[in-house]
Structure 1
Amino acid sequence: MRARRWRWACVALAVLTGAGLIWTRDGVGGAAAQLQPAGGAAVEPIVPLPAEPWLDEARVALGERLFHDTRLSGSGTLSCASCHDLASNGASAAALDIGDGGDRLGVNTPTVFNVAYSYRLGWEGRFRDAARHAAALIENPRIMGASLPTVVERLRADDAFAAAFRSAYGRTIDAANVVDALVEFERSLATPNAPFDRWLKGEADMLSEVEFEGYQLFKSTGCSSCHQGIAVGANLFQRQGVFRPLVPPPPDIVRVPGLRNVAATAPYFHDGSAATLAEAVHRMARAQLNASLSDEEVDKLVAFLGTLTGEYRGVPVRPAP
């Protein structure tokens, strides 16, 4: 009877912690018990990236060209790709990038990878709509420093570009289809095939023992309370510095960043003040969870976070040079 109660207690614990159990003939406990995804990711707080959505290839191609086009900036010297390097981490290595006016931006540039899975955009989550966000970045004098009418005028002067837009949209270039093409391209910037996604889908050998222990710490310490779902975050707001100061405000309230590819997106926090992922984990644990982690625990968490690194166009996401 006691053994039966123990098994049911373990099942209940597995449900509460989001872990699936694989049963052995020895029951649960000791070396005979292994935690693995049980029949998929349904019981885990993190969800694998879904299949790519249907996208209009012609519009994606136009959006990619626009993403790298300096005509979208007021000075004609910056493109979206100037701060969002798609050949590395979808952001940059700078704590604060330089805007079109030559001044440092107010916040660290977040990665553009997997942006389609963020329910709000920007560190303060001011934008729910991707189109409005793209337009605001173009017209922000501290970022791209242009205006959509000016951008449209420049692009219309390019006969080949104008013809491509007519083919894709059935009309000449205008502000709406410029923004739409950019958004369509952003929707394509998913980074699938992360080792952790493959583990969630049943490939048990994709995590090492240390990485698996890091994932258990991620859940038991409370990290997964805010970092969960498809983007491993990016779906709620949180006060920064709950128990101890984290980053000097403003803002006090931030959109919880997603953690996909986080091992490749240093520096961290909205001011770029954490140079390494280990430093960021230490600081986050103390400030947000009131937890003092040992170096060994941090190493395990960092090992797990490394398994969230996916691939863009078949190439693993890597840190910016």
Structure 2
Amino acid sequence: MRNRLVIVIILACIAGMAFPVANLFIPLPASRLASIKTDNPLLADALDILEKKCVHCHTSEVQLPWYGKFPIAGRLIEHDILVGMKHADYIRDFFPEAPGPISEVALSKLEYVIEQGSMPPPPYLLMHWNHFLTTSDRDTLLRWVYSERITHHATPGNPPEVMRRGIQPLPESTNEDPAKVALGDKLFHDVRLSKDNTISCASCHDLAKGGTDQLQFSVGVGGAVGDINAPTVFNSGFQFMQFWDGRAADLEEQADGPVNNPIEMASNWDEVTEKLREDEAFTESFLEVYPDGYTMENFVDAIAAFERTLITPSPFDDFLKGDVSALDTQQQEGYRLFNDFGCATCHTGVVLGGKSFELMGLRADYFGARGNIIEADYGRFNVTENEYDRYRLKTPTLRNIALTFPYLHDGTAETLDKAVEVMMTYQVGKKITLEQTEALVAFLESLTGDLP
């Protein structure tokens, strides 16, 4: 009996070893990354590593390996891909809808897992012994990350050691036409853009309140109440899309939305034009900037020009540029924790956010715990109708976050402490100490800038 048991154990061990041994000789199915042709040797080397050792758990074009036909193995692979896709999809990253460089968020996520040594994960490596990231692999990927940032994303005029980081200082100015900016400022604060002359852009994006209205949901014409928290207008020109679900590609398209929205301004540009034509002085000033007169394109162009000037440099920018004294000890500790916990993977770039759509409830079921799910919670899905995008919302900027309460898209976190708690629970999956929470909040408060 004992001999039979020994034989069974030996056979089980041999069978278990067969899969990883076979994987040393049988390559995984190629993904679309392998089809990318480039003259950039650094990118070519990075793609080779990502294709061979990373992409197979981060792809929307799943091709199961040969052993995926076995029931248990197949289920494990599907689980790994499901988890991996919550974090990143390299096919989407390298083949985006709008052609352009790989995103800042994708670069920051890759940098983080390399520095943490958390990818590929141990269960995957048990089956793929030759897929460990070597020191050379890590160095190559990080050099490529730094090169991409400096070339495509960094704020110009800073030293290389600053430009290669994920989080960047705000530029000190913009190059907008002053005449358009001044006109856009007037339009932004003009209640005549609303049906009953009670609501302006500034009603929901008050420059004295951090560019928001500090309400859970904004109030429009006739007391109509929205169903999603108003984002700040400050630094909005640096975000890759507008609205929580990204339904506007830029500030011009965004500026067109509220005027026509029945629960916001409940008007249209024809009505607005009729009102403004009665104001001879305003019409004269408008024609000086736009000789072709009142058109939707001219309205939104002026408003967007004004909004792009609403940048708010803070002490944190001085810190990023090398002035260590710009942040106190607690704020610096908070920034260290912010990076260590991986917050900077999504809250990256010049505005610490606004560069991607992320799954709300990455580590735990946020909406299941909160309940009462509504259409606004679906986020990007409402635009694409792609199931992958359900519950994915644009990562908000953290600039001036101390002023833009309440927090989250649903406005349910009334304080920064509560917002940190929610993020740690549902996005990071950690329980932190009171001291750590206070340090993180102190860091976030350092992002309050000089308001225009």
TM-score band (shorter)? 0.7 to 0.9
Asked if the contact 1:39/1:202 (under 8 Å) is kept, the reply is: no
SS at match of 2:300: helix
Shift of the 169–38 alpha-carbon distance from structure 1 to 2, 3 Å rule, reads closer
1:265 to 388, 404, 407: 404
Q: Deviations over 1:223-255 (max 9, x none)?
A: 011100111010001110122233554221100
Q: Which TM-score applies when normalising by structure 1?
A: 0.83
The corresponding residue for 2:323 is 203
Q: Tell me which amino acid in the other structure corresponds to 2:447.
A: L
Check conservation: 1:152, 1:175, Cα contact below 8 A: no
- Say which SS state the counterpart of residue 104 (structure 1) adopts: coil
SS of the residue corresponding to residue 278 of structure 1 reads helix
> Does residue 109 in structure 1 map to residue 230 in structure 2?
yes
Once the two structures are TM-superposed, the CA of residue 52 in structure 1 deviates from its matched residue by: 1.5
**Structure 1 equivalent of residue 353 of structure 2:** 233
Matches within 5 A, 1:74-223: 74-192=195-313, 194-223=314-343
1:9 equivalent in structure 2: none
Aligned position for 2:440:
301
Q: Which residue of 1 aligns with 2:450?
A: 311
Of the three residues 14, 22, 41, the one matched with 2:162 is: 41
What SS does the corresponding residue of 2:240 show, helix, strand or coil? Answer: coil
Q: Per the alignment, in what secondary structure is the counterpart of residue 76 of structure 1?
A: coil
Distance 2:309 2:286 in 1: 19
Query: What residue in structure 2 maps to residue 21 of structure 1?
Result: none
2:52 matched residue in structure 1 = none
On the 8 A contact 2:259/2:269 being kept in 1, the answer is yes
User: What is the match of residue 416 of structure 2?
Assistant: 277
Letter of the structure 1 residue corresponding to residue 115 of structure 2: L
* CA contact 2:229–2:408 (8 Å) conserved in 1: yes
Q: CA deviation at 1:88?
A: 2.7
C-alpha separation between the residues in 1 aligned to 2:175 and 2:164?
27
Aligned residue in 2 for 1:16: 115
Q: Secondary structure at the match of 1:312?
A: coil
Task: Find the aligned partners of 2:318 and 2:437 in 1 and give their Cα distance.
Answer: 23
Which has the higher relative contact order, 1 or 2, with Cα contacts under 8 A spaced 6 or more apart?
Answer: 1
Any conservation in 2 of the 1:41–1:47 contact (CA below 8 Å)? Answer: yes
**2:189, 2:201 within 8 Å by CA — same for their partners in 1?**
yes
**Alignment partners' CA distance in 2, 1:246 and 1:43:** 34
Q: Residues 38, 156 of structure 1: CA spacing in aligned structure 2 closer, same or farther, 3 A cutoff?
A: closer
User: 1:95–1:271: 8 Å Cα contact kept in structure 2?
Assistant: yes
Higher mean alpha-carbon deviation, 125-134 vs 271-280, is at 125-134
Q: Give the match's secondary structure for 1:196.
A: helix
Q: Is there any run of 5+ residues in structure 1 with no aligned partner, and where? A: 1-11, 18-36, 314-321
Q: Is the 8 A contact 2:209 2:404 kept in 1?
A: no
Residue type of the partner of 2:431? S
Which residue pairs with 1:31 in the alignment? none
Instruction: Indicate if the aligned counterparts of 1:119 and 1:235 stay in contact, CA closer than 8 A.
Output: yes
Deviations 1:121-157 (A, max 9, x none): 1011111122111111110111111111111121122
Residue 308 of structure 1 and its aligned partner are, at CA, apart by 1.0
RMSD over aligned Cα atoms: 1.9
TM-score, with structure 2 as normaliser: 0.60
Task: Tell me the residue number matched to 2:182.
Answer: 61
CA distance in structure 1 between the aligned counterparts of 2:226 and 2:287, rounded to whole angstroms: 35
Q: Specify the SS of the correspondent of 2:209.
A: coil
Question: Is contact 1:237-1:253 (8 Å) kept?
Answer: yes
| Structure 2: 5+ residue stretches without partners | 1-110, 117-157, 379-390
TM-superposed deviation, 1:197: 0.4
- The 1-side partners of 2:159 and 2:340 are apart by 18
Counterpart contact for 1:101–1:143, Cα < 8 Å: no
Mean CA deviation greater in 271-280 or 41-50:
41-50
Per-residue CA deviation, residues 76-127 of structure 1 (Å, 9 max, x unaligned), is 1111111111123110121111111422111011111001011011011111
CA distance in 2, matches of 1:40, 1:259: 23
Structure 1 distance, partners of 2:256, 2:415, is 32
